[in-house]
Structure 1
């Protein structure tokens, strides 16, 4: 902001600089108050009360036990997720944005034509089940049914060796 404010000449020198400092401070406060709402529009910097208003405005429900960070992320991504809603690729992008590794399969031979299979790891499903259900409810197609397929990774160890059964036991 320019501090070289030109004021009327009938004021004394000290009065001019005092009035200029007061005017500068006043307009900075006005600018701060006017831009406050713009700063609150960003869900990562908004207070919890404002975040709840933004969530209501964007049609996002807070899940019981949901962290404020995850709630803010879902509120922040609500518009782009709404654009992606309804398609297989869009649903995969929604899950990816929220940090879930989900694969969406459709038109599988063992399922009815209107069923989508969501393949997710068992650990993620156990931890994030309420989120997954909320995402499906908000962004899934209403004319589709969803089948959740939770899988777990296991490791197996195989040993290979030679056993000689022909050897006679000494008597």
Structure 2
């Protein structure tokens, strides 16, 4: 912020009010002229300015996506486009967008060679199912078919107990 320093003999009365008004005017002018540049920053831009930034990066907002998720996708669009070609990059894209750890299985026995299985938990499927489909559409390889497989984790408990019993063996011969 601009700080105007007045000489000692002018630090009272109308001159001080004029100095404060000038400082405020310059601060407002700086804020006004910096506003267009802030709209290019994904973190600071207005929600309405986010759509053109997404369009510029070849992204569309899907129907159930929150503005925070869309902002994250737009923010990482360039890095995600670079990582789109490899399995490790695909894992980084998924982790970067907040889905978590996903297991990717390729060349599954008994399946066609081009099928890729993305193994997610049930919670990930419920929370990020549509986002995962968008990630596959935007960053998946065109020569592959992707399938979401959900791992259902169910707790199993086995109890052991000592069972006492009697055994009798009868043998008959002729």
**If the length of structure 2 is used for normalisation, what is the TM-score?**
0.78
Counterpart contact for 1:123–1:152, Cα < 8 Å: no
Contact 1:104-1:116 at 8 Å conserved across structures? yes
Distance of 1:87 and 1:24 partners within structure 2: 54
What residue ranges of structure 1 are gaps of 5+ in the alignment? Answer: 6-12
Partners of 2:86 and 2:142 in 1: CA distance: 11
61-70 vs 110-119, which moves further: 110-119
2:43 corresponding residue in structure 1: 44
Find out whether 1:62 has 2:61 as its counterpart.
yes
Residue 154 of structure 1 corresponds to which residue in structure 2? 154
How many residues were matched structurally? 161
Matches of 1:25 and 1:164 in 2, distance apart?
Answer: 92
* Distance in 2 separating the partners of 1:16 and 1:160: 91
CA 1:104 to 1:166, structure 2 compared with 1: closer, same or farther past 3 Å?
same
| Alpha-carbon separation, structure 1, partners of 2:85 and 2:150 | 22
Alignment match, 1:8: none
Q: Classify the secondary structure of the residue corresponding to 1:108.
A: coil
Partner of 2:88: 89
Cα RMSD for the two superposed structures = 2.5
Q: Any residues of structure 2 matched to 1:75-86 within 5 Å, and which?
A: 75-86=74-85
Shift of 1:2: 4.3
CA distance in 2, matches of 1:94, 1:109: 26
Give the C-alpha shift of residue 35 in structure 1.
1.4
Deviation at 1:134, TM superposition (A): 0.5
